Amino acid sequence: MKILITLKSFYNQLPKAEQQVADYILKHSDRVPYESVSQIAENANVSVPSVTRLTKKLGFKNFKDFKVELAVSSAQTSSITQVFSHIEKNDSDDEVAEKVFLGNIKSLEDTLRILDKTRLSEFAKLCASASRIVFIGLGGSGIMGREAALRFAHIDVQAESYADNLDVLLQTSRLKKNQICVGISHSGRTAMVKKGLRIANEKGAVTALITNYMNTPIKDFCDYLFFTSFTENSVRSAAISSKIAQAAIIDSIYLLTAKKKRSIWDFSELDLLIERNLKID
């Protein structure tokens, strides 16, 4: 599945001819491994160079290597792939609920497949020793940033979240070395997140981005990139649909940071303090 997930991630940034090739591959991934490059070009109504250019963008040296990897990926495709499909206007209430759950399950499975666990561990180690972590995002991503900051605060890490343009500019301008800025943007094209990470990068802070698209222009300002995978459906609620995978990545970083941190709060005392102060008499 990894090759198909990567292809979907790049899709929106591809030229029209390469999108046609991508459409053909995604629709006929089971038979593409048995077709020649000229057959695929003809079926996609493009030139042969369009096919080879796409395979190179996917990281393959030649078309043969691409076909071998695709054959393996197609054989390993989860049955969920066949079950999950776009939400349609005439779907019953039960069908909508099932598609939401199956879509989120598939998103988590696909995100795990493309997750660079080594880089995730490296980043968590930096978080464990950082003097400050700033999360930035807009809309639904901003909500995830707030959730992330709250998690890290529970393990005695100075963590903050900002979703306002002025706040982002001011707070990222205050970042220094041994501090971290994490941007969250499903589309990978949020101007505010790009500006904030660029400023943080210029200040010498470590920068990271959680996004659904590998070819994001924000990547130029990031030391670490973590990709989610969610195929947007006709509802187009990307800010909602991507939250499950974003949360899984954030929770992974959070727990790895807690594991690597030399000292954290005594959770039993912390829980008692919270309960004592927030409980209604």
Q: How confident is the model at residue 86 (pLDDT cuts 50, 70, 90)?
A: low
Q: Is the pLDDT of residue 108 over 50?
A: yes
Give residue 213's pLDDT. 83
Q: Which residues contact 164 (CB under 8 A, 6 or more apart)?
A: none
Which runs of E-coded beta strand occur in the chain? 132-137, 159-162, 179-184, 206-211, 224-227
**Mean of pLDDT over the chain:** 85
Residue 204 region by backbone torsions, left for phi larger than 0, else alpha for psi between -120 and 50, else beta: left
Reported confidence tier of residue 66, pLDDT bands at 50, 70, 90: confident
Give the per-residue pLDDT at 225: 94
Identify the weakest region by mean pLDDT among 13-27, 126-140, 164-178, 231-245. Answer: 231-245
Non-local CB neighbours of 119 within 8 Å, separated by 6+ positions: 224, 225, 226
pLDDT above 80 for 151: yes
Residue 191 pLDDT more than 60? yes
pLDDT for position 275: 74
Alpha-carbon distance of 51 to 63, in angstroms, equals: 8
Q: What is the pLDDT of residues 193-247, one digit of tens each?
A: 999 999 999 999 999 999 988 878 899 999 999 998 876 544 444 445 578 999 9
Q: What pLDDT sits at residue 173? A: 97
Please give the pLDDT value at position 161: 97
Is the pLDDT at 32 greater than 80? The verdict is yes
In Å, what is the CA distance from 33 to each residue of 38, 69, 245?
Answer: 13, 9, 30
Residue 65: per-residue pLDDT = 82
* DSSP character at residue 32: G
Token pair, residue 85, equals: 């499909």
Q: Is the pLDDT of residue 171 over 90?
A: yes
Q: Which of residues 233 and 141 earns the better pLDDT score?
A: 141
139-145 average pLDDT score: 91
Alpha-carbon gap, residue 94 to 100, rounded angstroms: 10
Quote the percentage of the chain above a pLDDT of 90.
50
Least confident of 42-46, 93-97, 134-138, 154-158: 93-97
Asked whether residue 265 carries a pLDDT value surpassing 80, the answer given is no
Q: What is the pTM of this model?
A: 0.73
Q: In 3D, which of 107, 81, 73 has the Cα closest to residue 3?
A: 73
Q: Is the pLDDT of residue 263 over 60?
A: yes
d(CA 242, CA 43) in angstroms, rounded, equals 33
Give me the domains of the chain, ranges plus CATH numbers: 2-75 (1.10.10.10), 117-269 (3.40.50.10490)
